[in-house]
Amino acid sequence: MKSALPKVMHTLSGKPLVQHVVDTAKKLDSEHQVHLVVGHGAERVIEHFADSSVSIVEQTEQLGTGHAVAQALPHVGTESVTLVLYGDVPLIQQKSLSDLLALVSDRSMALLTAIPESSSGYGRIVRNAQNQVLAIVEEKDASEEQKAIGEINTGILAVQSSKLHQWLPRLSSNNAQGEYYLTDIIAMAVADGLIVETSQPEYIEETLGVNNRMQLAELERFYQSRQAELLMINGATLADPARIDVRGELTTGQDCFIDINAIFEGKVILGNNVTIGPNCILKNCIVGDDTVIEAFTSIDDAHISDLCNIGPFARVRPGTKMEQGSKLGNFVETKKAHIGKGSKVNHLTYVGDTVMGEGANIGAGTITCNYDGVNKHLTQIGDGVFVGSNSTLVAPVKLAAGSFIGAGSVITKDTEEDKLSLARAKQVTISKWKRPEKLPKAGGQEQKALEKEQNTSGSEQT
């Protein structure tokens, strides 16, 4: 990967590769335990899973896959079934694993195989004339005849744990790599009279590992194409299925339209007839029916009700709630703001730590001064309040219902219902004012005289 970051911590769809695998494993059975064997870059991986139920097992020496599984063996009871997965194979699906586990019995183990376009670099599945699996031969140890086999080992297998306790101590590193191959247990299983059952995934991409950034990008595109297909199958219209990124869980209602380059992070729920404009980012939010999100809008951890309109170029920060029919226009930013039903904040405005009633209208350039350098304070805006452009509301302050704030006001005190409030300097005209002139570059009497004249003009203005 040519990176200081451990490979399995590189992200696909906004989530570390290994987290994809752990999440899929956890879906299989709420009773089972996930053991994560870590080696290179262990500290970063351990830190990431510090608050999870994943059991961390360190492999201080990297001596092969068999050696890695052996490190976890002391934590695995003999009455269980062990499923072996890989932290750099992120797209394995729950169904593929469930199908595999169903093949395990007292007389059989299960192996996930695949037939890729090219088998180069993979261990080959060796079968007998009856099509029974006999062994897996790694490419570096394979003969020319074995290299011609198209069926490959994905590395993913399931077996009764008691068998692993028997076989792993018998592994040898007598091979081209000088490593303990987990794949050698296939031949041991056959020797012990077990049947090696096989299954294959729906998509070959489920079995592909990541070893460089090109492979990571390829899997990212496959993953996103699958997300786009599912969205369209569920009734959403995508302007271009190749230009959408779902980095979490996106749920759409009927007849949603999503324009190009939209990014969805975390858990996002869209109602019916929602329109998402181009280049929008939605994260951990709910958007109600018939709402329109205009281009270049960012919404994070917010609740948007029905029939709202947001953007373009709006930023809706955490804690914002918009009631039915409310509107945020271009270059509006909100944070911990409750925007009342039918209220409008049309443009070039910041509203933070605010509770706004119904039918309020906030003019361009208005800001709520919610932070005094230490603490945040609340601005309360009643029903039907009109705030003129370029006003400053210094919290804590309450604008009573029906208040009208004159443009350019700095409001520091609570207002009265249905009254006009003004708080701005008186306009004056300076009759002897003179427009400033650029000083000459060279010094001398001319420059001094000009400076004296300008100083005199400044005194008259004062």
Amino acid at 63: L
Q: Which residues are CB-neighbours of 331 under 8 A, at least 6 positions away? A: 313, 314, 347, 348, 349
* Residue pair 321/303 in contact by the 8 Å Cβ criterion: yes
**Of the residues 48, 67, 338, 347, which is catalytic?**
347
| Catalytic residue list contains 347 | yes
CA–CA separation, 40 and 62 (whole Å):
8
Token pair recorded at residue 223: 């993953």
* Residue pair 253/271 in contact by the 8 Å Cβ criterion: yes
Question: Cβ atoms within 10 A of the Cβ of 85, count?
Answer: 20
Token pair recorded at residue 59: 């492999």
Q: What is the number of alpha carbons within 13 Å of residue 429 lying toward its C-beta?
A: 1
CA–CA separation, 387 and 399 (whole Å):
9
Q: Pick from 10, 5, 4: which is nearest to 217 by CA? A: 10
Strand 81-84 relative to strand 152-160, pairing:
antiparallel
Q: Which helix (H) or strand (E) holds 448?
A: helix 445-461
Q: Pick from 358, 381, 99, 357: which is nearest to 367 by CA? A: 381
Q: List, in sequence order, every residue forming a beta bridge with 310; answer none if it has no partner.
A: 293, 328
Active site residues: 347
